[in-house]
Structure 1
Amino acid sequence: MSGEVLAFVLSLVWLVMLATAFRVLGLQGRQISDTLGLIVVVLAVFLPIALIWLAVLVLRAARDMRDESKRLHLTVESMRRGWIRDQQAAGLALKPTVEEKLDEIAAAQRNHETALAMFSTRRVPLGSRLPRPGNPGNPRAEGDEDGEGDSTQPVLALDNPLSLVAPVETDDFIRALHFPEDESDEAGFEALRRAMQNHAAAELIRAAQDVLTTLSQEGIYMDDLRPDRARPEIWRAFAQGARGREVAALGGIRDRSCLALTYGRMRSDPEFRDSSHRFLRAFDRQFAVFEAQASDGDIARFAETRSARAFMLLGRVTRIFG
């Protein structure tokens, strides 16, 4: 029964009781004034008591509602934490296999860099060495009167058999910055492996991986974000050095919870703060190179990668978009 219906029924009962009282007292020969006086006396006696108990009941109901509200809040908070734990567990379930493959790729890339740093040395036979100018018939240097010196010193040729920079295809660069979907995403791992052959791209990929891993510990996943899309010309303006209001549309992350959690983690975790700034610097450098050769369609696909969304989130937190 609703409150309005209950109030109507009680009002009707009260009117019936008054009519009955007037009828009974009238049959006994009492005047209306006497009847009203008797009713006023009754009300003066019982109405304060009724109001006191009504106030008690209202306060009890308010206390019960407040307690119920607290229990509901705790239940919702528990459900939210449980959901975050489930999300983290779902991510961690794939983490060992995926990270093992990422570690393998990183190890292979480090071996590649080690190979770049190594130079081959070979001895050039004495007979194949050219005589020095000014003394064509003598392989010794001028002024080397005692016949000693470089006649016994082998010539070292420093050869770098590998290219210092392996070019990265646009599709591989975009796919690598999105990272593999799961452990069975062979195409994603192949693109990541090829991109890691480039030193600068590998630096950005590792920085992005560090940032994404830390954000996932806060329950923040790039796939859950739905940022506002910025036009390719705004991305190009950022690559060409524009900052502040001119590129404010790049800060399209509107999720207040994610922004607050990221800001709090950055303030409390110096390691995450350093890795975030390292990622932003690497992203800035590499995107400038990427933009120079990318079409508008390529930039639109790039903006949908997990790394680009992490950049938009961290850029919004660090206020590089104004």
Structure 2
Amino acid sequence: MSPLTRITALARRDATTTIGVALTAAWLLLVLLFWLLAPGEAGRPGGVAWLLSAIGVVLPLGLIWMAVGLARSVAALRAEADDLRQRLSQLREYAATRGAPLPSAEGRRAAPAPAEPRHAPPQPAATAARAPQPRAGAAAAPRTRPVDSRQTAMPFDTPEPVDIAPETLIRALNFPDGPDDGEAIAALRLALKDHENSRVLRAAQDVVTLLAAQDIYMDDLPPDLAPAAVWRRQAEGARGSAIAALGGIHDEIALEVASVLLRGDEIFRDTAHHFLRHFDGLLSRLVPQLDDDQIAILADTRSARAFMLVGRAAGIFG
């Protein structure tokens, strides 16, 4: 909860407490006046009369402070709801800007993964040499942490019609392994100049980045590669159990995290469906041009691994 939201909640609680104290004082004053001004009785009151008098004094006080407690709880819940709405708005803005840096707010951590300038050289997704981050408990409660800028930066040039060789597009779909991976950087720059390929690469990078925020990295998920014939059936329009072998990612934690995000995170769900749709279209265009060896290389790219993981979590493989 941000400091401003916390201060607002405390102010509401203080106001509620003040009202409770005022009502208590007013009630005790009324009891005192009743006690002083009531006419005297001939006989001394019995035990039942004293009990009823005590209940009549204490019960309203209990009701007053029960109402104060409920009001304080409502104020805290309202403050948390306001904070959640602000965070949701921030996440939606982050997704809409494709990772562009957001304006910082006082007391709030900066949004993860600021994008680099338009013409900056592209940076890679995390390499296999990077040590995997711990993922215990991630499936139960997905959390967002600042993402390594190497997994988010990508130069998005203005797309224009370009004839891309299949092997160049496959290299681009795997993203560069580092700043020294000149061939992959050149392939990525060339592929981004084509409108259709640019949409696929942007969608793939979005999914990879959102998964990386949950400590799910494509380099940690070697797939069981399906035969080339299955990929050809997918490109021809087959769905369901006919292409079940494409769901080659079997990491239980990664699948559980992806499933939880698809069910509970609207931003990830929209991004994932956008990626699945465009990657499916890419396969329909690209796979008929490839031989079996090239299909195997395509299936082992980071973009294809994301397709297998998210597709299996979404149930598109039957």
Match of 1:309 in 2: 305
One-letter identity of the residue aligned with 2:278 = A
One-letter identity of the residue aligned with 1:220 = I
1:231 is aligned, of 227, 233, 249, to 227
CA distance in 2, matches of 1:301, 1:80: 28
Superposed CA offset, 1:180-203 (max 9, x none): 112332221111001111100000
Match of 1:277 in 2: 273
Give the 3 Å change call, closer, same or farther, for CA 82–253 of structure 1 in structure 2.
Answer: closer
Match of 1:292 in 2: 288
Give the 3 Å change call, closer, same or farther, for CA 82–280 of structure 1 in structure 2.
Answer: closer
User: Which structure has the larger Rg over C-alpha atoms?
Assistant: 1
Residue 296 (structure 1) shift: 1.1
One-letter identity of the residue aligned with 1:316 = R
Match of 2:150 in 1: 94
Q: Is the contact made by 1:204 and 1:286 (CA closer than 8 Å) also made in structure 2? A: yes
2:254 is aligned, of 249, 254, 258, to 258
Match runs of 1:1-322 below 5 Å = 80=134, 92=148, 94-95=150-151, 99=153, 102=154, 105-106=155-156, 109-110=157-158, 113=159, 165-322=161-318
Q: Which has the higher helix share?
A: 1
Give the 3 Å change call, closer, same or farther, for CA 90–302 of structure 1 in structure 2.
Answer: farther
Matched residues, number: 181
CA distance in 2, matches of 1:276, 1:80: 24
Unaligned runs of 5+ residues in structure 1 are 1-78, 114-163
Give the 3 Å change call, closer, same or farther, for CA 90–225 of structure 1 in structure 2.
Answer: farther
TM-score (norm 2): 0.53
TM-score (norm 1): 0.53
Residue 94 (structure 1) shift: 3.4
Identity %: 41
Question: Partner of 2:179: helix, strand, or coil?
Answer: coil
Superposed CA offset, 1:236-270 (max 9, x none): 00000111111100011111111001111121211
Residue 172 (structure 1) shift: 1.1
Residue 167 (structure 1) shift: 1.2
Q: Is the contact made by 2:134 and 2:215 (CA closer than 8 Å) also made in structure 1? A: no
One-letter identity of the residue aligned with 1:207 = A
Give the 3 Å change call, closer, same or farther, for CA 268–294 of structure 1 in structure 2.
Answer: same
One-letter identity of the residue aligned with 1:267 = R
Unaligned runs of 5+ residues in structure 2 are 1-132, 139-143
State the Cα RMSD in Å.
2.4
Residue 80 (structure 1) shift: 3.6
CA distance in 1, matches of 2:137, 2:190: 36
Superposed CA offset, 1:118-143 (max 9, x none): xxxxxxxxxxxxxxxxxxxxxxxxxx
Match of 2:28 in 1: none
Give the 3 Å change call, closer, same or farther, for CA 275–293 of structure 1 in structure 2.
Answer: same
CA distance in 2, matches of 1:268, 1:230: 30
Q: Is the contact made by 2:298 and 2:304 (CA closer than 8 Å) also made in structure 1? A: yes
Residue 166 (structure 1) shift: 1.0
